A and B are shown apart, each in its own frame.
Chain A
Amino acid sequence: AQSVTQPDIHITVSEGASLELRCNYSYGATPYLFWYVQSPGQGLQLLLKYFSGDTLVQGIKGFEAEFKRSQSSFNLRKPSVHWSDAAEYFCAVGAHNFNKFYFGSGTKLNVKP
């Protein structure tokens, strides 16, 4: 069965520290992969996506993610976190014909001053 797992419900990091949010998926074929961010009271904003090609994907706001097929993972990273990065982050998997879309349960990021 298809699924997306974000094992960390909450993460707290200090401002300026590095960040890695984990995402593992179970899917029958190579999926399309996405990371979204949701700030309080707002809708989702796309950070980055992977369809094919280079497995290291650069996104907005200094985020990057790496697709590792052997580990079925698509972890999100940022070298230096800013206080404005505090939000909830969702990993998602899409079918190639875009008729199915699976979200992880989200990771809430807190940033300490």
Chain B
Amino acid sequence: GAVVSQHPSWVICKSGTSVKIECRSLDFQATTMFWYRQFPKQSLMLMATSNEGSKATYEQGVEKDKFLINHASLTLSTLTVTSAHPEDSSFYICSAGGVATNEKLFFGSGTQLSVL
């Protein structure tokens, strides 16, 4: 199957700094990418839907100025957590798909963010 690479898998940062997470489709063009967040003992929460070349669509309650999403190419979407705070510590995961995958989604391996 298609491969989605998410980097980094683990990041620790100081409060107030920004962190960028990359989601790459390695062998297909992803017209759509989804970003999710998971809190302990809860399900994945959809944060935003990213379509290549256009602004991301954020779910209700997700601060778009805090979680900046850029989908500048058909193989790369980035999530930047700006001015991170300890409450932003969480597990973030992306998924990608498109015409090339018959709209089937493939998932990255996730990023564990810890903000000190």
Contacts and interface: CB of A to CB of B under 8 A. Distances in A.
A61 to B, nearest CB: 15
A27 interface: no
A40 to B, nearest CB: 6
A45 B100 CA distance: 23
**Residues of A contacting B: mostly:** strand
Nearest to B43: A46
Given A41-B103, A98-B40, 5 more contacts: A40-B103, A94-B38, A100-B110, A105-B1, A106-B104
For this complex, into which size category does the number of interface residues on chain B fall? 20 to 34
Contact of A101 (B1, B38, B41, B104): B38
Interface of B: 1, 10, 32, 34, 36, 38-41, 43-44, 46, 49, 91, 93, 95, 103-105, 107, 110, 112
Contact of B110 (A36, A90, A101, A106): A101
Given A43-B34, A88-B105, A105-B1, A34 B43 contact: yes
